[in-house]
Amino acid sequence: MINLTIDGRAIQAEPGKTILEVARENGIFIPYLCYHPALKPIGSCRICVVEVKPGPPRPLPACATYVAEGQEVVTASPRLTAIRQELMKLVLINHALECPICDKGGECELQELTHALGVPEVDLTAIPATSPPDYESLLVERHTDRCVTCGRCVRLCRDHVGAMAINFMQRGYFTELGSGLLPLDCEFCGSCIDICPVGALINKQFKYRARAWEVTKTEMVCPFCGGGCTYELHLKDGEIMRVYNGETALLCGRGRFGWPVLSSPERLRTPLVRVNGELKEATWEEALTAAAGGLKAVLEEAGPGALYGVGSPRATNEANYLFQKFFRAGLGTNNLDNPARLHYVKALSALGQVFGWPEVKEADGPHPKPPAYTSPFTVKEDTKGSGFTFVLGFLEELPRADAALILGADLTPELPPLGWGVNAARQKDDFKLVVANPRGTKFDRWATVSLRYKPGAERLVVAGLMKALLTAKPDLAPAVPAQGFEEFKESLKKFSLKEYASRAGVEVADLEAAAAILAQAQAPAILFGTELLSQDKGDMNALALADLFLLVGKPGTPGSALYPVADKANTRGVCELGVLPDRLPGLLPLDSPAAPAFWGDKKVAQQPGPTLLEVLDLLEQDAPEAPRALWALGGDLLRWLPNRSRTEKLLGKVKFMVVQDAFRTDTAKLADVVLPVAIHAEQEGSFISSTGRLGVLKAALTADGVLPDWQIICRLASALGVPMSYRNPAQIFAEFARQIPLYAGLAPKKAVGKTGIPAELKGTFVPFDLDISLPGRRPFTLIIGKVLQHSGSYTTHEPCGTLVVTPEGAVSLNPEDAAQLELKAGDKARVISSHGEVEAKVALDPLLPAGVAFLPEHFAQPAAQMLTLNSNLVRVSIQKA
Amino acid sequence: MDAARLEAILSRYEGEPYDLIPVLQEIQDNYGYLPKDEVKEVARRLNVPLTQIYSVATFYKMFSLIPKGRHQVKVCLGTTCHLKGGPRLVDSLSSRLGVEVGYTSKDGQFSLETVGCLGSCAQAPVMMVDDKYFARVTVDKVPKILKLYQS
């Protein structure tokens, strides 16, 4: 620690901090304009100047001067005031004084600074420098004449968002904020708006709707992806005015602009019951009676095994926990699964094989009456953790990685916060990045090595990397005790390095360069997403990456971890809370000795249920154990399961179907009873983010006709003879947290596995399948994946803000391929696979290699899953429609 | 966009971000300005964000985003030239050519701009037309100079 004085006050500070940071921590006011806690300082506005002794006779900028032992800092003196006032006059010289109509009024840093510094009047004149405002761009409005050229937005956009969509234009006195061409062509995340100290960047959704001081603020977790960001919801008269993040300013477009979807006319507001073959509006009483009656009839006729449950990655931990409790404690079956079966669950099972399933022993507790959403367990000295949870990464530590491999993921669309994490990591000079993807992505720009492999060849790339690693360093040994290494090395001998490279479609030299980066890294991170997991052999892809991490990873070093993407708000939670046919809450096995304690000593069925995909097979075979009734907690099965026409046919065989959803989805249209649910800030509850962070939703809005999932489950379960009654979601959290020592130390904004539990890791190398053949002979390989502006189908309903940026799904083609097919951007094309066809608009994307096409998964039309069989990769032909 | 014309320039560089300024200079010389489509292609090929190219292009006076005239008239307004009557030259040129500073005459013959210093303060006021310097220019010499270039 360093001892210094600020304004005569003795202060202890950590070395490496700046005077401004230390002053802020200690509540000492130093004015500033260009500094922002989320950015690196540039010391350009000079308003934060302070007198420093010992030091040069001139004042120094507090934001860019480090604290030193014995420093005496003076933050206020007549000389400093004079300097600051003069600087403020220069800032104000050309500032458009439109405060009465400026949206920033009341929260403008320039306004407050002018007031705080008592700038009397601007007695300077200058050539007026005015540029017209940009009203044309989507979502963001720009007023260059209000800009104070602090460069916060430019730095944020360049260093953290990585879009580099805004920059300074002109020079000297005439310097202004610009984007080169109009309108703005960027990621439309709007982060620049929240970091702007003045009203130069305006949120079009917020403009003229409320003044800053009129809003009430609620902090909550964002429900638009698995990133787990928290933001402030600003409300006026019970309506959302805007979403705001003053702390780090970073949010993605969905998070910041997606909320109008809540008031979509497509939202279901009353329950629906099928009467004479048609879905008719009904009261809650009628609908719950109908649902209970229908389910009861099936259960009485065919036994408890006849009901199958599908949990939801959109629903809270509490709802999902109750859902599986109904099946396990009520019906005594394990007949349930969740839609992450198609991607994230594959990663879990691979990680389970290589690193073991998570377990925490000797946690202290459960203590009575912990605070809301806090684990009753604490970590004590001999607490020990094991299993894969402890090799999963935390978002906050990603910037500390010194190398990263991004495999098969267009990272920002998959999970925007991971993109920011990698951007933060690359601010370090020694950071090395390997980007491997069949398509070009944003991160290729910063990649030390880019590997452009054939679609579906992920495993060959990973095998090639390991082969190259072991060739260069034959004595390479894993950082943690591992079994099966020798046999594993044998399995890699199937091909030579050259063969791996040629089969994957990459250069040997690139593989070697990438391997060298991973071998030298002290904290390598491995990031991968649903695009690679959604393949038929996605579990093998995950296995390959888990093996690679076992070989090169440095578990325990901050930043060195596996970062699999759990795409939706609670994809990780729905799995960890046991909505799986073979795992209990806390991912415990069915035969765990702790299991009976879950529901008052009632025995847990030892027979795992069928998975979601097995259920479809059972239905197809008309097997006696095929479910006759289905209870889906959301999750539009038709939209997400591959081979849509088959799914549609098979769901038709289900006798009785209850669907809880916020929208009239295609699956809901097949249901017998549809129960409309609360979403976003209409309900309370918790989510677990992709990187393990516990986020809490707050009920800030009134629910118009809808009910939260947990209440529906309680009422329906009770009507089915499984009484459930809870006061609020916090009580449900308290119930399951008592059974899950893995969550020891967990509290809001803390991350699972990041609560100080010492981990004892070991691993087993598991050989993986190397066959990457894709059936069919059609000329194009179609990848079905995510686009930046959408999260599942949630954001595809009007008036969601991001729909103005990406209003529809288009099939993207390489420009040369398109030219050969005589297709131009905007033309209609028919995309035909052996299982179906869709019509879609054509978009041109030079980042796609020849012979590869891309179609987003989000939209009702074109329905991507019409084309698929069992993977998000499918061979198609494309022709002019 | 004439792809071959741009390719002739780009093919002589490695395609690295640090090639940006020389490439823009060649485009400026070859086209007389930086056309939008060409700039977009340069962004893609050199892996430089489009906004950074525009930032560079607007920073340096040697680049122009609008077509320049056949002849570039530059009047020095550095300290010495300013004192010795540079502003009067600007006014005279502006009215004779019918063009504001920073723009191009209607017939596309002349572009007029002012510059910070041409490095010949001893001979102030100085102006340049294309690559040629004109020293100790007075207002009454302006028509003569322009005549040399008016076709």
Residues of chain B neighbouring A169 (CB-CB closer than 8 A):
54-55, 58-59
Residues A248 and A341 in one domain: no
pLDDT for residue A610 is more than 90: yes
Two structure tokens written together for A169: 């234009």
Residue A129 has pLDDT above 80, yes or no: no
Residue with tokens 């799914």: A647
Residue A387 resides in a domain: no
Does residue A581 share a domain with residue A534?
no
In this predicted structure, what is the pLDDT of residue A353?
A: 97
**CATH number (domain holding residue A808):** 2.40.40.20
Same domain flag for A405 and A532: yes
Read off the tokens for B106: 């209607």
CATH number at residue A43: 3.10.20.740
Q: Are residues A827 and A862 in the same domain?
A: yes
Residues A171, A221: one domain? yes
Report if residue A691 sits inside a domain.
no
Q: Is residue A187 part of a domain?
A: yes
Domain termination site, one of A690, A723, A743: A743
- Which A residues 484-503 touch B at CB under 8 Å? none
Q: Which of A55, A71, A92, A50 is nearest to A2 (CA)?
A: A71
Residue A181 pLDDT: 86
Which of A134, A153, A168 has the most B C-beta neighbours within 10 Å, making it the best mutation to test the interface with B?
A168
Give the burial class of A126: count Cβ atoms within 10 A of its Cβ; 0-12 exposed, 13-18 middle, 19 or more buried: exposed
Q: What tokens appear for A175 in the block? A: 């310097």
* ipTM reported for the complex, 2 dp: 0.88
The answer to whether A181 faces chain B, any CB pair under 8 Å, is yes
Do B49 and A164 count as a contact with CB atoms less than 8 A apart?
Answer: yes
Look at residues A396, A678, A690 and name the one whose alpha carbon lies nearest to residue A568: A690
Helix (H, G, I), strand (E, B) or coil at A106: coil
Contacts of B44 in chain A (CB under 8 A): 846
Q: Does B119 touch chain A (CB under 8 A)?
A: no
Count residue pairs from A and B with Cβ separation < 8 A: 38
| Amino acid identity, position A520 | Q
Q: Is A171 on the interface with B (CB under 8 A)?
A: yes
Ranges for all domains in chain B classified under CATH 3.40.30.10: 71-147
- pLDDT value, residue A797: 94
Beta-carbon contacts of residue A237 (< 8 Å; ≥ 6 apart)? none
pLDDT given at position A659: 97
Closest of A95, A102, A97 to residue A211, by C-alpha: A102
The three-state secondary structure class of A380 is coil
Q: Would you say domain B71-147 falls under CATH 1.20.1260.10?
A: no
Nearest-angstrom CA–CA distance, A231 and A219: 6
Per-residue pLDDT of chain B (151 residues; tens, 9 = 90+): 888 999 999 999 999 999 999 999 999 989 989 999 999 999 999 999 999 999 999 999 889 998 888 899 999 999 999 999 999 999 999 999 999 998 899 888 999 999 989 999 999 999 999 889 999 999 999 999 999 998 7
pLDDT at position B96: 93
- DSSP type of residue A481: -
**Residue range A456-493, pLDDT digits in tens:** 999 999 999 999 999 999 999 999 999 999 999 999 99
Q: Are A519 and A469 in contact (CB under 8 A)?
A: yes
Cβ distance A179 to B44 less than 8 Å, yes or no, reads no
Test B58 with A846 for CB contact under 8 angstroms.
no
Which residues from A are below 8 Å from B53, CB to CB?
180
Number of Cβ within a 10 Å radius of residue B83: 11
Within 8 A of B36 by CB-CB distance, chain A residues are: 181
A847 touches chain B (CB under 8 A): no
Residue A596 has pLDDT above 70, yes or no: no
Considering only CB atoms, which chain B residues are within 8 Å of A181?
36, 50, 54
> Where residue A656 sits, what CATH number does that domain have?
3.40.50.740
Nearest to A786 by CA among A315, A343, A449, A436: A343
Residue A594's pLDDT is 80
Tell me the one-letter amino acid at A652. G
Give residue-wise pLDDT tens across range A267-288.
Answer: 999 999 999 999 999 999 999 9
Task: Tell me: do A72 and A167 sit in the same domain.
Answer: no
Question: Nearest CB to B51: which of A167, A445, A846?
Answer: A167
> For residue A634, what pLDDT is reported?
84
**Which residues of chain A are within 8 Å of residue B47 when distances are taken between CB atoms?**
445
A180 touches chain B (CB under 8 A): yes
Joined tokens for residue A373: 């959403």
Residues A242, A301, single domain; the answer is no
Q: Hey, are the CB atoms on A171 and B44 less than 8 Å from each other?
A: no
Residue A113 has what pLDDT? 94
Which of A166, A170, A846 has its CB closest to that of B51? A166
> What integer is the mean pLDDT of A650-660?
96
List the single residue in B with minimal CA-CA distance to A166.
Answer: B51
Min Cα–Cα distance to chain A from B49, Å: 6
- Domain total of chain A: 5
Question: Which residues of chain B make contact with A164, given a CB cutoff of 8 A?
Answer: 49, 51-52
Q: Is the pLDDT of residue A595 over 80?
A: no
Q: Give the pLDDT mean for A429-446.
A: 96
Residue of A169, A192, A816 to mutate for B, most B C-beta atoms under 10 A: A169
CA dist., res. A774 & res. A613, Å (int): 20
Rounded to an integer, what distance in angstroms lies between the CA atom of residue B102 and that of residue B110?
11
Q: Are residues A475 and A547 in the same domain?
A: yes
- List the domain range (segments joined by +) for residue A49: 2-92
The region that residue A505 occupies, defined by phi over 0 for left and psi between -120 and 50 for alpha, beta otherwise, is left
Residues of chain B found within 8 Å of residue A170, distances taken between Cβ atoms: 58-59
Does B1 lie at the interface with A, CB-CB under 8 angstroms? no
Q: Which of the residues B39, B55, B56, B65 would you substitute to probe the A interface, choosing the one with the greatest number of A C-beta atoms within 10 Å?
A: B55
- The answer to whether the Cβ–Cβ distance between B55 and A166 falls below 8 Å is no
